[in-house]
């Protein structure tokens, strides 16, 4: 086990009654999507990797601030949209910020595990 594994394992809660083998497995793991902002994982249902070449813009390579600004413009109606205005209105400023921070991570880092 690496020191990185050890660091990650300190974050977990509970686990008092776990069998030793399960505990070992637990310490070797690091959740990734579990830490995704609420709602964030739904985005990729439409917004795929840039390589797919879709008419729906990919969210790859966008800075968090850029996503927040755009969502704000969708929410206020300042930016024209087909469906994003309707979706953006379902998220508060804080929720949007959290989603943007998660989406702004490179794909590999979103699911990074030691």
Partner 1 sequence: MPSRRALIGGVAASVAAAVLAAPQVRAQTQPHVIVIGGGFAGASCARALKRLDRDLAVTLIEPEAAYLACPFSNAVLAGLRGIEAQTFRYDQFGDIALIRKRAVAVDAERRRVRLEDGTDIGYVRLVLAPGIDLRFDALPGYDEAAAAIMPHAWKAGAQTLLLRDQLAAMPDGGVVILSAPPNPFRCPPGPYERASLIAHYLKTSKPRSKLIILDAKDAFSKQRLFEAAWQELYPGLIEWVPLSSGGRVTEVDPATRTLVTEFGNHKADVANVIPPQRAGGIAQSAGVADQTGWCPIDPVTFESRLQPAIHVIGDAVIGGAMPKSAFSANAQAKACAAAVAALVRERPPAQPKLINTCYSLVAPGYGISIAGVYQPRDGLLAEVEGAGGASPLEAPLSVRELEAAYAEDWFRTITSEVFG
The DSSP letter of residue 105 is S
Among 22, 50, 63, 109, the residue binding partner 1 under the rule CB under 8 A is 22
Q: Are 40 and 98 in contact (CB under 8 A)?
A: yes
Rounded Cα distance between 54 and 61, Å, is: 15
Q: How far is the CB of 56 from partner 1 (least distance, A)?
A: 5
Residue among 8, 39, 73, 105 that touches partner 1 (CB under 8 A): 39
Kindly state the smallest distance separating residue 99's Cβ from partner 1, in Å. Answer: 9
How many angstroms separate the CA atoms of 51 and 72, rounded?
Answer: 27
- Binding of partner 1 by 12 (CB under 8 A): yes
What letters, b where the CB count within 10 A reaches 16 and e where it falls short, cover 52-87?
A: eeeeeeebeebebeebbebbebbbeeeeeeeebbeb
By the rule CB under 8 A, 21 interacts with partner 1: yes
Q: Which of 40, 45, 34 is nearest to 103 (CA)?
A: 40
Beta carbon of residue 109, minimum distance to partner 1 (angstroms, whole number): 13
The answer to whether residue 108 forms part of the interface with partner 1 (CB under 8 A) is no
Summarize as ranges the residues that interact with partner 1 (CB under 8 A): 12-15, 17-18, 21-22, 24-26, 28-34, 36, 38-39, 41-48, 52, 54-56, 82-83, 86-91, 95, 111, 113
């Amino acid at each position: 086990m690496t020191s990185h594994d050890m660091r990650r394992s300190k974050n977990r809660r509970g686990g008092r009654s776990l069998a030793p083998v399960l505990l070992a497995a637990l310490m070797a793991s690091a959740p990734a999507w579990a830490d995704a902002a609420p709602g964030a994982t739904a985005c990729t249902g439409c917004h795929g990797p840039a390589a797919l070449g879709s008419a729906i813009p990919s969210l790859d390579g966008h800075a968090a601030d850029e996503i927040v600004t755009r969502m704000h413009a969708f929410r206020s109606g300042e930016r024209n949209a087909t469906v994003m205005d309707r979706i953006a209105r379902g998220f508060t400023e804080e929720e949007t910020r959290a989603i943007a921070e998660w989406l702004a991570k490179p794909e590999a880092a979103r699911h990074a595990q030691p």
